Amino acid sequence: GQQVMQIPQYQHVQEGEDFTTYCNSSTTLSNIQWYKQRPGGHPVFLIQLVKSGEVKKQKRLTFQFGEAKKNSSLHITATQTTDVGTYFCAGFTGTASKLTFGTGTRLQVTL
């Protein structure tokens, strides 16, 4: 079955440093979504990418969808303590498919 892996599993940065998480799917995705889950909370939608090679920005966050539509990345510039949480990618393999989540990357930011 489809597998979605993320690396790293965990990253600890000082506030102001950059952070990147990478997402790799075993199968081609029709689109990819990113979610953030704060400690004790539930996943909250951040963004959806649909086109091959697509890049989207949300303030300090930059999302990329790979050319082959099998990988994606999330980059945070100048992290802040409010960025703490676990970031998940999730994707569909087709319109009739389920939403499969990645393994997640937990980000810890300290002053």
7 binds other proteins (CB under 8 A): no
Q: Which x/- pattern over 36-75 shows residues binding other proteins (rule: CB under 8 A)?
A: ------xxxx--x---------------------------
Q: What separation in angstroms does the CA of 83 have from each of 13, 38, 61, 75, 95?
A: 11, 9, 10, 11, 31
88 binds other proteins (CB under 8 A): yes
Measured from the CB of residue 99, what is the shortest distance to other proteins in angstroms?
6
**Is residue 84 packed enough to be buried (19+ CB in 10 Å), middle (13-18) or exposed (0-12)?**
middle
Count of residues binding other proteins (CB under 8 A)? Answer: 23
Cβ neighbours of residue 12 closer than 8 Å, sequence gap 6 or more: 107, 108, 109, 110
> Which residues here bind other proteins, judged by CB under 8 A?
1, 30-31, 33, 35, 42-45, 48, 88, 90, 92, 95-96, 98-104, 106
